[in-house]
Chains A and B, each alone.
Chain A
């Protein structure tokens, strides 16, 4: 049945008098510039400035940002009236500033001050894109520099929310100098052992990216934020190339190793609060959380297996992976991505966590990612995290599970050998306790690059060797099928290695070892870990490095001069 134009219309009654027509008051509705949908402005403002339709992020004005992250009523603004001049006598600049000030009710493009986040005190700076694209002129540079200086003086962490088109052209060379001034102040803040976090928001480009935005101990980014040095339009014009979608977005940077993590706006306050707490200066340590000890342990008796059987167990697909140990042993794990050079290697899981209320850096090789074969990027990420741990005086705990370092053209191009060497070299001198636990395969240099520890522990059926038994057999006997025989003579089992003094502790495993019964390993491991941290935590940085030096110096069968002297 076709119903088009068949029904009679309404016979209007005549009304007298005029009626005020409905209209939408200004500012009630708006159009989303990402999806084009109509939005109720107030709803968007009340929901973190996120479009309810496309979930796209709008830019957040500085004061709204303060409201989103600071504990209520805790923010105290600094240098409110500080403004710059017109150093180039650039025509119309002052008028432009005046209009912008009226529109935004801001004096300059950054708001700085101090506040509490989740109860933790910090110095914060928030850039506001509405103010001449938050370009960095003298006033912006000065406010950030003063914030960093005062944070240094007061021993407070610093958090900067970046958003900027870059340098402020109207201020010419004076604007360029802000990059050096701010960076120098950030460097001093860092040298004082203080934490600096940047949160990169859309867009962070130019001179801000090339200075304080990329200097954070921890660099977080908002989803989808444009982050780069040269803007996409400039790159397209210069190179004549069409840029791929997602180029210079936060996700692109994460993949390329330049940001530690992407954080949803609704999670930002909690994340920052946790990170501040995990970096709180030692001495006012958080109350040690007591973890559920888990089910009681049934004592395992050391079983007798051949070396080859243990090799196979160490490779068992059902064996718990590194991340399972991280989840079982630590609280509040925050993963930090990237080597800040080229990429983020998923075969290395690294970050900060809390062990019984004590902050630690955790690094784990992930067997489920590229078989645990780490790329140079993975080793460089782990080294970056170890240096970070050293800065904040927290112990490093590594879980090793790799058949060997990644082997291939790109790994060699980026210097796999150099990456491993650098790790070993730097780890030997780290001024914090380092513990390595071999949980599966400990294959060659790929394992040693995370195993220059004050102690190295193993699980009963893990192995640690110069290379795989297959490789050993094929090199020495030109027959990889004799791997079983090779395994028996390589002395790669935990028991053998303990006897040889290569490892300090061996933990027994359940017969069929899976994530289900992982607690049977982690419960005693947790106890020993506590003892380790207690014992080594009392040593100075120098003593820790010396202990590590001696440990490796005296391994093996040739006795060093000092060994001989000791014997005499």
Chain B
């Protein structure tokens, strides 16, 4: 069993993990950078260890320092949260070598699924639908153009090691292929130090549908339904909901079974997410598998009543899943809104600063995941997400109204936030009808820009 967990993260997810551990009677160790001395996670944990200067590379991304902190504090496990080292197979491997329980899948599985092409091959072999594309890495634009012609335009050009929208470009036609290929490749080289590129068919106006799965080390795999994360800006999710208004009960079962098959094919253990792109005609394609807890996990927790962090810890400790697929019941509707310290009017520029006044909503069916407090100075070095508000109601319509009510109550003084921007999306007629796809924000922004010029 796990007695003490070191949380290798910061912000709200670190707080979320500390709370789950506390409820389970597991001691917690926080790590923090010099810029995070006053951060909530460092104060809330039973112990806290400073692991270096503000820069990520010197603190939260420093594998050696985090391993050392784990050994020194006597923790037996590390929860990596999301981002940072959570999907770093080298880090998971180091934990394994030191006999530290890494709360997540094994390093081999992370490495396999982190490599886009290998993941795709694994899925295709397991009968999971994949987007038509190149089987091997392409380095040369000429060769790439031939492949693109075979796959069919429009095509997406993306980096083998890509993520977060870096090293990705769409080419609508052969004429713009070479330029976009070289742009994406240069970006990839700079961001990841690798210029292996892949080309695939680009699906226009799909929805982003992802399935949450849980897998124990005894071969039991269940899915906890889907999340619809179509509201994205530059590949960054903004609003997530579950279940998706676009899935019939039959489609949900089919895609859920596919997700379970995908996880089994990968030999997956722990909590994971299989991302699909869903076309209007109902075709869906495997995109990638995330081998970590996700930002938007609360919506799944709302509709299933299952605590995903606790399940992660239980699975890592070698326990069997306590329920079967049939016992998983999806109930009601949940929505999550991400609150960022940023200025939407200035191209969503991050706005760190001190929170001088704070009021957050509460009441039945409203959940706050946050690490800010009154008087907290948001450091400029890290992600701008400062809170997640999630709501649950019996129906989608009621959930939207509840979220509107909740957002309408939010007061965050001292820093600019995207609360009003998010409120505007909830009021959008198309959103309310559930008529959205991953181009929703872009289309909306273009419309707004046009209206302004006219």
Q: Which of A6, A21, A29 contacts B76 (CB 8 A)?
A: A21
Q: Is B251 an interface residue (CB 8 A)?
A: no
Q: Which of A7, A10, A20, A38 contacts B25 (CB 8 A)?
A: A10
Cβ–Cβ contact A3 & B38, under 8 A: yes
Closest Cβ of chain A: how far from B54's Cβ, in Å?
Answer: 16
Cβ–Cβ contact B25 & A40, under 8 A: no
Q: In the docked arrangement, what's the CA distance between A127 and B185, Å? A: 40
Of residues 1 through 53 on chain A, the ones whose CB sits less than 8 Å from some CB of chain B are 1, 3-4, 6-7, 9-13, 15, 19-25, 28-29, 37-40, 43
Q: Which of B28, B46, B94, B374 contacts A40 (CB 8 A)?
A: B94
Q: Which of B1, B68, B71 contacts A15 (CB 8 A)?
A: B1
Chain B residues lying within 8 Å of A1, measured Cβ to Cβ, are 373-376
Q: In the docked arrangement, what's the CA distance between A43 and B67, Å? A: 15
Closest Cβ of chain A: how far from B40's Cβ, in Å?
Answer: 7
Q: Is B261 an interface residue (CB 8 A)?
A: no
Closest Cβ of chain B: how far from A95's Cβ, in Å?
Answer: 36
Chain B residues lying within 8 Å of A23, measured Cβ to Cβ, are 71, 98-99
Q: Which of A7, A10, A28 contacts B94 (CB 8 A)?
A: A28
Q: In the docked arrangement, what's the CA distance between A28 and B97, Å? A: 8
Q: Is B70 an interface residue (CB 8 A)?
A: yes
Cβ–Cβ contact A10 & B21, under 8 A: yes
Cβ–Cβ contact A13 & B25, under 8 A: yes
Closest to B23 in A: A10
Chain B residues lying within 8 Å of A15, measured Cβ to Cβ, are 1, 3
Chain B residues lying within 8 Å of A6, measured Cβ to Cβ, are 43
Closest to A4 in B: B43
Per-residue CB contact flags for chain B residues 374-418 toward chain A (1 = under 8 Å, else 0) read: 111000000000000000000000000000000000000000000
Q: Is B257 an interface residue (CB 8 A)?
A: no
Q: In the docked arrangement, what's the CA distance between A346 and B301, Å? A: 68
Q: In the docked arrangement, what's the CA distance between A21 and B71, Å? A: 8
Per-residue CB contact flags for chain B residues 30-44 toward chain A (1 = under 8 Å, else 0) read: 000000001010011
Cβ–Cβ contact B46 & A9, under 8 A: yes
Cβ–Cβ contact B100 & A22, under 8 A: yes
Chain B residues lying within 8 Å of A21, measured Cβ to Cβ, are 74, 76, 99
Q: Is B233 an interface residue (CB 8 A)?
A: no
Cβ–Cβ contact B373 & A10, under 8 A: no
Cβ–Cβ contact A22 & B46, under 8 A: no
Q: How large is the interface on A (under 10, 10 to 19, 20 to 34, 35 or more residues)?
A: 20 to 34
Q: Is B166 an interface residue (CB 8 A)?
A: no
Chain B residues lying within 8 Å of A9, measured Cβ to Cβ, are 46
Closest Cβ of chain A: how far from B326's Cβ, in Å?
Answer: 30
Q: Is B65 an interface residue (CB 8 A)?
A: yes
Closest Cβ of chain A: how far from B101's Cβ, in Å?
Answer: 8
Q: Is B125 an interface residue (CB 8 A)?
A: no
Closest Cβ of chain A: how far from B229's Cβ, in Å?
Answer: 33
With contacts defined as CB atoms under 8 Å apart, how many contacts are there between chain A and chain B in the complex?
70
Closest to A13 in B: B25
Q: Which of A4, A10, A20, A39 contacts B64 (CB 8 A)?
A: A39
Q: In the docked arrangement, what's the CA distance between A38 and B21, Å? A: 29
Q: In the docked arrangement, what's the CA distance between A13 and B74, Å? A: 16
Q: Is B184 an interface residue (CB 8 A)?
A: no
Q: In the docked arrangement, what's the CA distance between A15 and B27, Å? A: 12
Chain B residues lying within 8 Å of A40, measured Cβ to Cβ, are 63-64, 90, 94
Q: In the docked arrangement, what's the CA distance between A40 and B88, Å? A: 14
Q: Is B22 an interface residue (CB 8 A)?
A: yes
Chain A residues lying within 8 Å of B99, measured Cβ to Cβ, are 20-23
Q: Which of B46, B68, B90, B100 contacts A10 (CB 8 A)?
A: B46
Closest to B100 in A: A22
Q: In the docked arrangement, what's the CA distance between A37 and B71, Å? A: 17
Cβ–Cβ contact A29 & B1, under 8 A: no
Cβ–Cβ contact B94 & A12, under 8 A: no
Cβ–Cβ contact B373 & A24, under 8 A: no
**Given A19-B3, A23-B99, A3 and B27 touching (CB < 8 A)?**
no
Chain A residues lying within 8 Å of B38, measured Cβ to Cβ, are 3
Q: Is B306 an interface residue (CB 8 A)?
A: no
Q: Which of A7, A20, A24 contacts B71 (CB 8 A)?
A: A24
Closest to A8 in B: B22
Cβ–Cβ contact A29 & B373, under 8 A: no
Q: In the docked arrangement, what's the CA distance between A43 and B63, Å? A: 11
Closest Cβ of chain A: how far from B317's Cβ, in Å?
Answer: 11
Cβ–Cβ contact B373 & A38, under 8 A: no
Chain A residues lying within 8 Å of B97, measured Cβ to Cβ, are 25, 28
Q: Is B24 an interface residue (CB 8 A)?
A: yes
Q: In the docked arrangement, what's the CA distance between A15 and B21, Å? A: 15
Q: Is B109 an interface residue (CB 8 A)?
A: no
Q: In the docked arrangement, what's the CA distance between A20 and B75, Å? A: 11
**Given A10-B25, A10-B27, A10-B46, A28 and B76 touching (CB < 8 A)?**
no
Q: In the docked arrangement, what's the CA distance between A25 and B40, Å? A: 33
Closest Cβ of chain B: how far from A37's Cβ, in Å?
Answer: 8
Cβ–Cβ contact B76 & A22, under 8 A: yes
Q: In the docked arrangement, what's the CA distance between A29 and B66, Å? A: 12
Cβ–Cβ contact B98 & A11, under 8 A: no
Cβ–Cβ contact B70 & A29, under 8 A: no
Closest Cβ of chain A: how far from B29's Cβ, in Å?
Answer: 11
Q: Which of A10, A22, A28, A29 contacts B26 (CB 8 A)?
A: A10
* Residue among A6, A10, A37 with max Cβ neighbours from chain B (10 Å): A10
Q: In the docked arrangement, what's the CA distance between A20 and B71, Å? A: 12
Cβ–Cβ contact A13 & B24, under 8 A: yes
Of residues 84 through 122 on chain B, the ones whose CB sits less than 8 Å from some CB of chain A are 90, 94, 97-100
Closest to A11 in B: B25
Cβ–Cβ contact B43 & A3, under 8 A: yes
Chain B residues lying within 8 Å of A3, measured Cβ to Cβ, are 38, 40, 43, 373
Q: In the docked arrangement, what's the CA distance between A21 and B373, Å? A: 36
Cβ–Cβ contact A24 & B28, under 8 A: no
Per-residue CB contact flags for chain B residues 55-80 toward chain A (1 = under 8 Å, else 0) read: 00000001111011011001110000
Chain B residues lying within 8 Å of A13, measured Cβ to Cβ, are 24-26
Q: Which of B62, B98, B374 contacts A28 (CB 8 A)?
A: B98
Closest Cβ of chain B: how far from A549's Cβ, in Å?
Answer: 54
Chain A residues lying within 8 Å of B374, measured Cβ to Cβ, are 1
Chain A residues lying within 8 Å of B67, measured Cβ to Cβ, are 24, 29
Closest Cβ of chain A: how far from B372's Cβ, in Å?
Answer: 11
Closest Cβ of chain A: how far from B66's Cβ, in Å?
Answer: 10
12 further contact pairs, Cβ within 8 A, besides A7-B44, A11-B22, A12-B3: A3-B373, A4-B43, A6-B43, A10-B21, A10-B27, A13-B24, A19-B1, A19-B76, A22-B99, A24-B71, A29-B67, A40-B64
A–B pairs, 26, beta carbons within 8 Å: A1-B374, A1-B375, A3-B38, A3-B40, A3-B43, A6-B43, A7-B44, A10-B21, A10-B28, A13-B25, A15-B3, A21-B76, A21-B99, A22-B70, A22-B75, A22-B99, A24-B67, A25-B97, A28-B94, A29-B64, A29-B68, A38-B64, A38-B68, A40-B64, A40-B90, A43-B90
